[in-house]
Structure 1
């Protein structure tokens, strides 16, 4: 019996030793595998953390005016800017051992595997925060063993190459909270209209419960279900020691206010402007397309949200329910900053940007460039030419051309440059254009910023070459700011997701006009709003002059297909176009819409700002001039308007008293002789200054 017992003992000892050896070998093998796996993941290096983020557009007042993202609305925040209660709630409900495991939790994995084997499904998950972060970055959400294995490998790579706070920060910035909101900042803004740093306990615990099933636990879909999930989160926080029961109960009972209940509500502040900014980012500034698509940029623009809303308000109010279209551009002439931009009646119906892309005939709104050239070549506000039906010989005698005034309304007498500007007399303009030489108008227009190709033709005096509303606002800025050509500025600064400034623009201005002549041209353009100048016809801006309560200058223009109003104050230049994308204007009333939009926008946009006068530069004098003949007003000829001249070119001859028949005495003089004498005399006076 003793022999049998000894044999049994020896067999047991051998089995124990074998077991221990196998266990040791297994442990060594497991350790070797673990070392090999860790070495492999370490050698693989840190996996890239590139995540598409939301690019944010800011207005001139630092408010958010729009966002751009590739279907994932995400704003990256450093962990230091995330509310502590958000972090605690997330750790409590998602991964209590986050700071102690190596990327996976064997205990949770084992329990999940047993549960899945029992049920024959893969419904139970045991993913840690690191695993979820890896899945969000690199993998799909398919429930397969292959995906789980890859998830484990990526988790190990993350843990081997990044610290815990970096991983937690990445998770909180990539996890999906529903409704297109990726990351805690986008979720806080979407659900509560506040930053992730401002969330309270009730809000933090509500958001922490959503990622388990964003469409199932969203409080915007089912508040009762979301509150139950919030309760689970709060109890998890109690269990982990982050809260006591009283604090948890109070947070669960707190009534929450949700500020947004629609999905991915798009920005409506200046969509045409934002398109223009995006185009400038890539085509002009040179931001790489891939960088822009990756997002995370903060783009600080020049748009004034209140002015933009004012522009959209008057477009909506004045434009009829038809296919008639419009465009508006408003620029601060002191800086070149684009303050408002409208490219059409309705962006959702037509994103085509007429403000920057459409080239339309500006009509008489092009005349100020011609008349500035005339001022440079000896004209003054008192220069007179005959306004009557006229046929011009053009093309070196090979052709003829008979332009007409609006409604065939002529003075049949000499009129001054002041009147010609206020009445928009076409005959005066064409005569001036031909007397100067047609290249002069082209040169001035290009000097102030018109970049479209201009046809050097007699008809250019009447605005027959297409330009954009954007160009016209830019070009008129030189009259408003004392003769400086501005570079339109839409973007002030671009900052990337790391806080690095990629681009910054300061105002760019170049003196291209004589400040004295720029002011005189501005003063001439105030005449279109002065009913006191009405004579054989009315001033072209009389119908809207009562709508603006501050000093204004400008010029309207019209063709068979286009209606324009370009005008300005010392603070704001605004260009408005109205017309059909194809075809002519159909009703006379359509020709007045641009003026009304311009006037009402100008008044509303500058509400509360100083009513500034146009500053008179040194070397310019104002005299009381009879607007009909350009002579000095007297007691016998009291009709006058204060007009401005370069010192030494002002009228010196007094207006004669009325003749016996009640008409002023005037010299009968051949028009050609008078024109030549006026131009030569003024040219010599101008050269002498």
Structure 2
């Protein structure tokens, strides 16, 4: 490995030399200073204004002398430790980042310097080519020669994005702490410095735990590099409260969840400066009337100020267009936590749809393939028990079982004991692959994708993931990339035709026969399974989901025209919902009701459409139950089972004792 590290370092040095050769054709005129005052505007599908993308109000340029000295120290420590030594690009940093990525077998570090990142923020082109990367590095070298380090650092700190519409350290300080950047203390500076790498991932409003861990990572880097001493390090880490004081900014923005989602996509395409001051006119896919319908559905269901939060997202299966994206947190009007795309919660039994889809795709006939519905124990090791976590022990919520039962009936019962066995037979890796190609973009490779409880929904995903994936079924097996932007008019009045706005990006990922078979079962689930509260008098398919101790509840369903995911839970974390309006919340209760109300007031106003018949039928093969399903003693368990029929009360499982629909079991 040491030899490989040396090779990587040499390659980085060679790359730097190549940039110098390329440098004769690059020019600092390709950079442009930030211009404040030319706002961009975002419109809904009906032409109504959602809001302007602020310029002067969310970015205030300040010199280094008016910035807390902790900010540049923390930023350099975590972003570019050799900033004052290298010449604009850092071969050592590139080699270090590549080595870390090779060891982790994924991207864990970036090799870009602060100077390169500044060039990228100011660079006009939105190409993603090797040529551009070389030019970017070349410009960084020239900028390093032309500007003092302090000017480069000051420009970077006044340009970089800190999340929640805050560009530059002054706006970030006001946004998160309601005070000027010169007043930031060490721990506050470390928190903000750690955010620039991934503002959404380390958003302290949305992900306080990850933000805190990232802050501590910055503090460790500062200590290791001698920027702070041990006493300062301990003082800064002592407070586990982030000390946030959210600023009151951007009040004029309507539909803030969707607005922030659109902004993120614009930034990816044009860079922060063009979006912030480039005079763009952006037309989106959101339908305000449907937004109101979604909010009304939540508020009509959750009427008390102490009720949990709920989020709704709807996608057009034919194009991937996002038609509704909203959330309601009872008792709070201004919520900066994007429950639709940022939040990730365990999906419970809604994830079983991917297990079912993978099984059907594999040739398993759900009507004729049987399992034993009984308490199930998976023993990856010989010694152990359910209590110490070495065995995976699955039970249903009500401890009622059906004995020998088909996969179809087990789906309608949401029987976790059967789906635990089916997950092991189909294979978690195969299930993860199916979920990914259907639209789940959250990484699912926990323990190398062999985490067996995945099939019962133990891996957290976003409502956007689930709506997108179920839309693939609604479209007969065709995945459409979620689309929020229909059209962008540039400052000169011309349409941007190069980025592909408004053009659906569609890919067939399942045969229409597989999609139709899964839809048939999920239609039955709405008719007389766990999702009957979602029925609204027209063809609809869907699945309920509830996690351990009722901490999260879901209903994800679709018609031929719209796929909608509903999530319900407490914003602060996995808090049990065991007494909301006098009942324990499961996916078949309030979430299914919210889904029905939303669909009645939107798709319900259109003519009825049936799901189209499949042109090809799935190819079923003789199925032999896999070895994992035989890890328990189904015959002994079956002797004590209750041969109950399908119930509309959603069953569940736990690792040790009955509690809720899903478990968070350990491998």
Give TM class, smaller chain.
0.5 to 0.7
Residue 432 of structure 1 deviates from its aligned partner by 0.8
Closer, same or farther: CA 383–305 of 1 in aligned 2, 3 Å: same
1:343 Cα deviation from its structure 2 partner: 3.9
Which one of the candidate residues 449, 456, 465 is aligned to 1:462?
Answer: 456
Residues 344 and 351, structure 1, Cα contact 8 Å, conserved in 2: no
For 2:365 and 2:599, locate their aligned partners in 1 and report how far apart those are by CA, in whole Å.
Answer: 29
Query: Structure 1 residues 500 and 51, CA, compared in 2 at 3 Å: closer, same or farther?
Result: farther
Task: Return the alpha-carbon distance in structure 2 between the equivalents of residues 670 and 497 of structure 1.
Answer: 72
- Structure 1 residue aligned with 2:290: 307
Aligned ranges 1:78-117 → 2 under 5 Å = none
Kindly tell me: are residues 348 and 288 of structure 1, through their superposed partners in 2, closer, same or farther at Cα, counting changes over 3 Å?
farther
Q: Where do 1:640-679 residues align within 5 Å?
A: 646=618
Tell me whether 1:550 sits opposite 2:546 in the alignment: no
Given that 1:57 and 1:298 are in contact with CA atoms closer than 8 Å, whether structure 2 keeps it comes out as: yes
Separation in 2 of the partners of 1:405 and 1:50? 60
Name the counterpart of 1:451. 441
Distance 1:419 1:302 in 2: 38
Contact 1:391 1:400 in 2 (8 A): no
Aligned to 1:372: 357
Looking at structure 2, the residues matched to 648 and 273 of structure 1 have their Cα atoms a distance apart, in angstroms, of 42
**Count of residue correspondences:** 382
SS in 2 for 1:327: strand
Secondary structure at the residue paired with 2:391? Answer: strand
Which residue is equivalent to 1:441?
431
Q: How far does the alpha carbon of each residue in 1:16-60 deviate from its partner, in whole angstroms, 9 at most, with x for none?
A: xxxxxxxxxxxxxxxxxxxxxxxxxxxxxxxx9977244322222
Deviations 1:625-681, CA, capped at 9 Å, x for gaps: xxxxxxxxxxxxxxxxxxxxx478799xxxxxxxxxxxxxxxxx97999xxxxxxxx
Provide closer, same or farther for how the CA distance between residues 50 and 361 of structure 1 changes in structure 2, counting only shifts above 3 A: closer
Question: Which of residues 290, 295, 301 is equivalent to 2:273?
Answer: 290
Q: Residue 471 of structure 1 aligns with which residue? A: 465
Residue 396 (structure 2) aligns with: 405
What is the alpha-carbon distance in structure 2 between the residues aligned to residue 504 and residue 494 of structure 1?
A: 10
Partner of 2:324: 340
SS at match of 2:610: coil
SS in 2 for 1:501: coil
Please give the alpha-carbon distance, in whole angstroms, between the structure 2 residues aligned to 1:477 and 1:64.
Answer: 28
Equivalent position of 1:321 in the other structure: 305
User: Offset at 1:485?
Assistant: 1.7
Match of 1:599 in 2: 596
Return the match for 2:493 from 481, 499, 509.
499
1:275 aligns with: 260
Q: How does 1:158-307 map to 2 (within 5 A)?
A: 269-282=254-267, 284-285=268-269, 287-294=270-277, 296-307=279-290
Going from structure 1 to structure 2, the CA distance change for 1:374 and 1:671 (only over 3 Å counts) comes to farther
Conservation of the 8 A alpha-carbon contact between 1:343 and 1:352 = no
Shift of 1:567: 0.3
Question: What is the SS of the residue equivalent to 2:553?
Answer: strand
What are structure 1's unaligned runs of at least 5 residues?
Answer: 1-47, 74-263, 532-538, 621-645, 652-668, 674-689
Q: 1:52·1:72 contact (CA, 8 Å) conserved in 2? A: no
- 1:527 partnered with 2:524: yes
* Separation in 2, partners of 1:516, 1:351: 42
Distance 1:382 1:567 in 2: 21
In 2: Cα distance, 1:300 partner to 1:348 partner: 26
Higher gyration radius (CA): 1
Residue 265 of structure 1: how far off its partner (Å): 11
CA distance in 1, matches of 2:57, 2:616: 61
* Aligned-pair Cα RMSD in Å: 3.0
Superposed, 1:50-61 pairs within 5 Å as 52-61=37-46
Flag the 1:422–1:268 CA change in 2: closer, same or farther, 3 A.
farther
On the 8 A contact 2:287/2:324 being kept in 1, the answer is yes
Moved more, 516-525 or 289-298: 289-298
Structure 1 residue 607 displacement after superposition: 3.4
**1:271 CA displacement:** 1.9
Q: Give 1:389's aligned residue.
A: 374
> Which structure 2 residues correspond to residues 13-28 of structure 1 after superposition, within 5 A?
none
State whether residues 387 and 425 of structure 1, in contact with CA within 8 Å, keep that contact through their aligned partners in structure 2.
no
Distance 1:327 1:49, change over 3 A: closer
Q: 1:648 to 1:406 in 2, by over 3 A?
A: closer
Partners of 2:567 and 2:368 lie apart in 1 by: 31
How far residue 614 of structure 1 moved from its aligned partner, in angstroms, is 0.6
Task: State whether structure 2 residue 360 is matched by structure 1 residue 363.
Answer: no
Instruction: Please tell me whether residue 578 in structure 1 is matched to residue 559 in structure 2.
Output: no
Which deviations, in whole Å up to 9, do the C-alpha atoms of 1:98-128 show, x marking residues without a partner? xxxxxxxxxxxxxxxxxxxxxxxxxxxxxxx
Partner Cα separation in structure 2 for residue 414 and residue 457 of structure 1:
26
Deviation at 1:451, TM superposition (A): 1.9
Matching residue of 1:42? none
CA 1:71 to 1:379, structure 2 compared with 1: closer, same or farther past 3 Å?
same
Q: Which residue among 397, 400, 405 is the counterpart of 1:415? A: 405
Counterparts of 1:295 and 1:524 in 2: how far apart (Å)?
A: 50
CA positional deviation for 1:332: 0.4
Match in the other structure for 1:628: none
Residues 595-649 of structure 1, C-alpha deviations (whole Å, 9 max, x = no match)? 11111101111133121111011234xxxxxxxxxxxxxxxxxxxxxxxxx4787
Distance (Å, rounded) in 2 between the aligned partners of 1:380 and 1:312 = 40
User: Residues 377 and 568 (structure 1 numbering): CA distance in 2 closer, same or farther, change over 3 Å?
Assistant: same
- Cα deviation for residue 475 of structure 1 reads 1.1
Alignment gaps of 5+ in structure 2: 1-32, 59-248, 384-389, 624-633, 639-667
Question: Counterpart of 1:590 in 2: which secondary structure?
Answer: coil
CA distance in 1, matches of 2:491, 2:516: 46
Asked whether the 8 Å contact 2:412–2:525 carries over to 1, the reply is yes
Secondary structure, aligned partner of 1:357: coil
Alpha-carbon separation, structure 2, partners of 1:489 and 1:400 = 42
* 2:337 aligned residue: 352
Distance 1:50 1:469 in 2: 36
